[in-house]
Structure 1
Amino acid sequence: MTMTVTNGEVHPVTANGGFTIDKPFKIFVGYDPREDIAYEVCHHSILKRSSIPVEITPIVQSDLRTNGLYWRERGQLESTEFSFTRFLTPHLANYDGWAMFVDCDFLYLADIKELRDLIDDKYAIMCVQHDYTPKEATKMDGAVQTVYPRKNWSSMVLYNCGHPKNKVLTPEVVNTQTGAFLHRFQWLEDEEIGSIPFVWNFLEGHNKVVEGDTTTFPKAIHYTRGGPWFEAWKNCEFAELWLKEKDECVKEEKK
């Protein structure tokens, strides 16, 4: 069996779903220094359960600024450092193949291969198409909660980076276009946006598990209101799952 080493982890290389045998699946995770532990736990939860090779890269705003890829001034409504940098995903993937962007406040409970196998080349992007209006006025550590069409669609996106339409997402466009243009995917037609089951972006406090219906069990929990790493959200739904993963993550780092 062929093996590959990614992020210090050894993985078997498999040919599946049109992906070449030696190419890891690229995953870009939004990073904010205030949520470093959230990033580490998200990273750990993906690697721990993945049966395919993956390449996980944090999108760090300070690094992008140093490299001349990001120069946008931070707006008052940006609750994280990756509010806009997320849209650089196709550029960071060299406009080649498929790549995933995900917020750092996710906990993966299933094999990322299951998500990757949902990919359909006819789409420019694929995401969970939430119908979501938050009830809270604030989230996380007091950040203002905004309401807009297609809210949370951009929090986990599979990008067909080589799709001609996604070549629009140059650093220039990401730095100058409006939040509406980017977060509502206005560079695309509706039929170019594929749908993914909600369990891959299961919104804590909004989506519900139906007892006895396994199709409603979360495969990736999104602590979009705020997670247990914030004092105000330490008792949120599914907090115990995140805390258990954090303990495992910390123990492995100490080793």
Structure 2
Amino acid sequence: MGSSNGENRPAVGDEQPFRIFVGYDVREDLAYQVCRHSILKRSSIPVEIIPIKQADLRKNGVYWRERGQTESTEFSFSRFLTPYLANFKGWAMFVDCDFLYLADIKELRDLIDNKFAVMCVHHDYTPKETTKMDGAVQTVYPRKNWSSMVLYNCGHPKNKVLTPEIVNTQTGAFLHRFQWLEDNEIGSVPFVWNFLEGHNKSVEGDLTTLPKAIHYTRGGPWFEAWKNCEFADLWLKEMEEYNKEAEKKSEE
């Protein structure tokens, strides 16, 4: 399953942190904090978590695209800057902030195979809802949700096309459908790593269907309208833990 030549495995003791870029939206700061907490708490490897904040990218002249009507979050397009932000080196991951991790990120990193330019869950579905989260229109397109969690082979020659110029000017179809790649350059990851709340199902007795990362794609418990969604209890429990730890730190 992993890389056959081991090129992506740093020497033990000299392990570089695995870089995880998380889509950040000012309206969903809590979702970001809880997502980050859920990764760090369970990770057995060093990780570096970097929020992709649109305001910072604009200030640095890296992002200047005008927000379109179908963009439901601040990171709809800035997510594709991940290889650029990782200096086109090594592997890095992008993930939306509306995820809750229930397993060790090392398990996901160990699925990495250098022959691919990107790896992600190959969802095949059409959302039932016509709107999402806070009333944004739910768009339907091929490869929907593939880009919500992606392992990027940042040094892959094909990914060098993802410059700020391209990310700021290319169409949503080009970017979200990975049109800069051939189909055989897009590796597959088990669906449990991008388990769509309200769509994917766990089968009793089948451990391969147990979610390792829940994606509250319709809206999560941090939105009033979605506080009773499936797996809301798991997210709320994680939030309580995060709040307690944040409180403790502020008192130190």
Distance 1:97 1:150 in 2: 25
Q: Which residue of structure 2 aligns with residue 164 of structure 1?
A: 157
Aligned partner of 2:113: which letter?
Answer: D
SS at match of 1:22: coil
Query: TM-score under structure 1 normalisation?
Result: 0.93
Q: Does 1:24 align with 2:17?
A: yes
Q: Deviations over 1:140-199 (max 9, x none)?
A: 111111100000000000000000000000000000000000000000000000000000
Question: Would the alpha carbon gap of residues 209 and 16 (structure 1) be closer, same or farther in structure 2, given more than 3 Å must change?
Answer: farther
* Equivalent residue number for residue 43 of structure 1: 36
- Quote the residue 2:242 is aligned against: 249
Distance 1:194 1:22 in 2: 24
- Amino-acid identity (%): 83
SS across alignment from 2:64: coil
Which residue, out of 100, 105, 108, partners 1:115? 108
SS at structure 2 position matched to 1:221? strand
Equivalent in the alignment of 2:86: 93
Per the alignment, residue 131 of structure 2 pairs with 138
Instruction: Provide the aligned length of Structure 1 versus Structure 2.
Output: 241
Q: Distance in 2 between matches of 1:47 and 1:38?
A: 14
Q: What is the CA-CA distance between 1:16 and the residue it aligns to?
A: 10
TM-score, structure 2 as length reference: 0.94
Which residue of 124, 129, 132 corresponds with 2:122? 129
Name which of 41, 56, 62 aligns with 2:55: 62
Residue 121 of structure 1, CA deviation: 0.1
Q: Secondary structure at the match of 2:128?
A: coil
> Match of 2:167?
174
Q: Where does structure 1 differ by over 4 angstroms across 4 or more consecutive aligned residues?
A: none
Does structure 1 retain, via aligned residues, the 8 Å contact 2:8–2:91?
Answer: no
**Secondary structure of 2:152 counterpart:** strand
Q: For 1:192-239, what per-residue CA distance to the aligned partner results, in whole angstroms no more than 9, with x for missing partners?
A: 000000000000000000000000000000000000000110000000
- In structure 1, what residue type is equivalent to 2:179? Q
SS at match of 1:186: coil
1:32 alignment partner AA: D
- 2:21, 2:52 within 8 Å by CA — same for their partners in 1? yes
Q: Give the superposed CA RMSD.
A: 1.1
Where does structure 1 lack aligned partners over 5 or more consecutive residues?
1-14
| Cα shift at 1:17 | 5.9
